[in-house]
Amino acid sequence: GGAEKLVLLNDIADVEAFISGAEVVVVGFFQEPESPEASQLHLAAARIPEVPFALSCSPAVREHFGVTAATLTLFRRADKDRRDLDLNSEEIDADKMSRFIRMNELRLVTEYNPTTAVGVLHSSLLLHLLLFTDKKSPEHPEQMRRYRAAAELFEGKILFILVDINLKSNEQVMTYFRLKKSQLPALAIFHTPDEKNDVLPLDEVSIERVKDFCSAFLQ
């Protein structure tokens, strides 16, 4: 369960290696490994098994990462960014921790839904690429494999997003880009500061098509 999952790291190099080891990781910077925050972190870790969790109680580590008070920090590879949750400001429990993680866990390809929408909107990456597709289609696993491979080429430049058209809340996203179901799968690229965008219906999702579409927009 959560107990074995929560790694105790008190060396700066170990924490940095832990952070670079996955797309999304969570580190609790606490003063005591037996603190109330730590027990809540154990509960949150057990609820989110796909995200690696660590705990560090070293003053040197806290200083290195610019953390003064008890803080829950989520590090992510997709936009080379981090999000901090100050645990001293209010009563923080496993529910709030879990919600914070779910909202901010942007990945190389992030699935868009009402929870991740918050993190997507606040990402430091201003270019977003959306793949509109049907997750239930038999082609979906292969499409995702190629889309993910393309995402790695633009890591740190473009936020890659998957929009599943089976999700009712995603219909308004399709409407925004003036897309119909008959045109899918389709790509849409969006520059958040000025809302400049471009749309490309696809016959198939290939690494080459995604790459060309992104490169043309970047130029």
Phi and psi at residue 183, in whole multiples of 5°?
-90, 0
Q: What integer pLDDT is reported at residue 2 of this predicted model? A: 41
Give every residue of the chain whose pLDDT is below 50, as ranges. 1-3
End-to-end CA distance of the chain: 48
Q: What integer pLDDT is reported at residue 1 of this predicted model? A: 41
137 alpha carbon, distance to own chain's centre: 24
Q: Which helix (H) or strand (E) holds 151?
A: helix 140-153
For the chain, which domains are there? 7-104 (3.40.30.10), 109-218 (3.40.30.10)
Report residue 88 as tokens: 């001293």
Helices (H) and strands (E) in the chain, counts: 9, 10
Q: Cβ–Cβ contacts within 10 Å for residue 13, how many?
A: 9
Contact status, residue 184 vs residue 165, Cβ threshold 8 Å: yes
Pairwise CA distance, residues 150 & 160, whole Å? 9
Contact status, residue 81 vs residue 123, Cβ threshold 8 Å: yes
Contact status, residue 106 vs residue 159, Cβ threshold 8 Å: yes
Pairwise CA distance, residues 177 & 205, whole Å? 18
Q: What integer pLDDT is reported at residue 153 of this predicted model? A: 96
Q: What integer pLDDT is reported at residue 4 of this predicted model? A: 59
Pairwise CA distance, residues 186 & 197, whole Å? 13
Whether the CA torsion 142, 165, 101, 13 is positive or negative: it is positive
